[in-house]
Amino acid sequence: MFSVSGNCQNQQKSKPNIIFIMADDLGWTDLSSSNTSLDNGSKYYESPNIDELAKQGKSFTYAYTQQNCQPTRAALHSGQYATGPQNGVYNVGSLKRASKGDTTPIIPHTQNNYLKEECVSMFETLKTVGYHTAWFGKFHAIKLGEQAKSYLGVDYNLALHKETKATVNGVNVKNEFFAQNDDANGWTFEIEELKPYAQPYNATYIKNVLEPMKNGNDPWLLEGTPKHLTDALGDAVVDYIKDRSQEKEPFFAYIPFHAVHVSILPRPDLEAKYKAKTSQDPRHTDAEYAAFVELLDQTVGRILNALEDPNGDGNTQDGIAENTLVVFYSDNGGFMGPTDNTPLRLRKGTYYEGGVRVPLIFRYPGVITPNTVNTTQEVHTIDFYPTLADIAGVKLPDPQMHEIDGKSVAPVLREETEALNDKKELYWHFPGYMDVRNMPQSVIHYRHTNNQHYKLFYRYEDDSYELYNLSKDIGEKTNLLEGKPSRGTLNLAKKMNSKLQKWLIQRNAPTGTWAKNGEKVPYPQKKGIKKYK
């Protein structure tokens, strides 16, 4: 397990290295940490390295994403909501994903599948002050290969899919996560650049890499078996840190793991550990998923250890952890089935808390006070771009070229304030369909007086609303507009509805058209809440 030394002095340093780690489909309750989820962490899954990261940094319990992979990544790199002019990515694939055979009253908007090429990405902005930029892992919302360098500003690009196609003993084979032994090319993953890390587990690797990270698992069970993509990406990141630690210029390493996305294919030694372990958590009982979470955790631990000792010789004099900001995050809520997001409602793909609320940790020794938890400030995917720019001391793009929707939460990280007064709302907008999970709707999250957090849903098909007090009803069980809502509740709903309508109009948010007459679907009306009187 990694550790980091040093006392917090809350002094901003110049141009720190930045490590941004993003898990895939890791739910709010999927870590064993008590810091990241208001003590709702798993009692079965084990994540000791990420838990330690939380103890060394600041966790945010109101951290949010988009509802699934592609729109979250587009928002991250652009700093824009899906409604932003360089974004336009609302869903994975398209907005025309109604349940099979369904006819829909609204014809969905046609979305973008990639950020527009005129987008001034987070990578490009950091490069203006000398950052070397790198990408390791899942590619969603960008184009692969050289195009990532040309229009997103990535210097070292290891973006790839989790699937590997190969010809093995004359048969074309496609599998996920594990390296394949191609007849012509030998052991490989999808891209050639990761081939040096594709060799099967051998005794040297197990002894030097996996043994130091073991936590009740037996890594020697792996000898001679194919390498897992999560380990291979960890190997590549560790080598990158070793190389960049010898350079004067800072680096920004973006590490979007494919773990723990389905198919749930963990490392066999960790799966064996959990199959022998009895769950004490009724929400979490799946041994394969538990093993996948810990594989992610061990790989994160290896990356953090590399910051302490880049060349791995046991001497930490060359360590760069003290001048490195580490961010840990997930791209959306958990995918129910292999996991359970209780006490949050529902899952990935929805705008209920189970779909968009995720773990978030920042660690920056000497600047961020260790073992702290912020239970007030809401943070969204769009906020990372301006926050990292703020910490790196770089100006944001000219708004005429590229407008940023997010706000920097660096003042909160430095404890200059508990929450930003000019950042009390978050918005989501979905002008289409996604099976049973999502339909045309708009949502506002609002921090009201006494830091009470509320969320208002507006559904376009039937002009209906839902209102929840997240501070008192984290599971979104009680729609405050049902029955006979109080005057205060109605006034709050009106205020939130007005903010939502104004935001939609300002951004010219698309809503689709009515199938019955081809007319544009209107925005929520200012007096829409009146029907609840």
How far, in whole angstroms, is CA 367 from its chain's centroid?
23
Give yes or no for a contact between 152 and 129, defined as CB atoms under 8 angstroms apart.
no
Is 261 annotated as catalytic?
Answer: no
CA triplet 118, 122, 128: central angle to 5 degrees? 90
Q: Closest Cα partner for 153 from 408, 397, 406? A: 397
435: tokens are: 């099976």
Determine the Cα–Cα distance for residues 113 and 76; give it in Å rounded to an integer: 15
Secondary structure of residue 235 in the 3-state scheme = helix
Residues in the chain: 533
> Residue 367 in 3-state DSSP?
coil
Task: Locate all alpha helices (DSSP H) within 90-205, ordered by sequence.
Answer: 122-127, 146-152, 203-205
* 406-to-89, 123, 402 alpha-carbon distances in Å: 16, 16, 12
Phi and psi for 458 in degrees, rounded to 5? -125, 125
Whether the CB-CB separation of 222 and 213 falls below 8 Å is answered with: no
Q: Does residue 89 have a cis bond before it (omega within 30 degrees)?
A: no
Alpha-carbon distance of 348 to 333, in angstroms, equals 5
CB 300 within 8 A of CB 50: yes
Side-chain half-sphere exposure of 455, counting CA atoms within 13 A: 27
List the beta bridge partners of residue 217: none
Concerning whether 69 is annotated as a catalytic residue, the answer is yes
Nearest residue to 273 via CA among 202, 221, 224: 221
Q: Which of 109, 132, 140, 228 is catalytic?
A: 140
Active-site residue, from 69, 109, 119, 132: 69
Q: Catalytic amino acids?
A: 69, 140
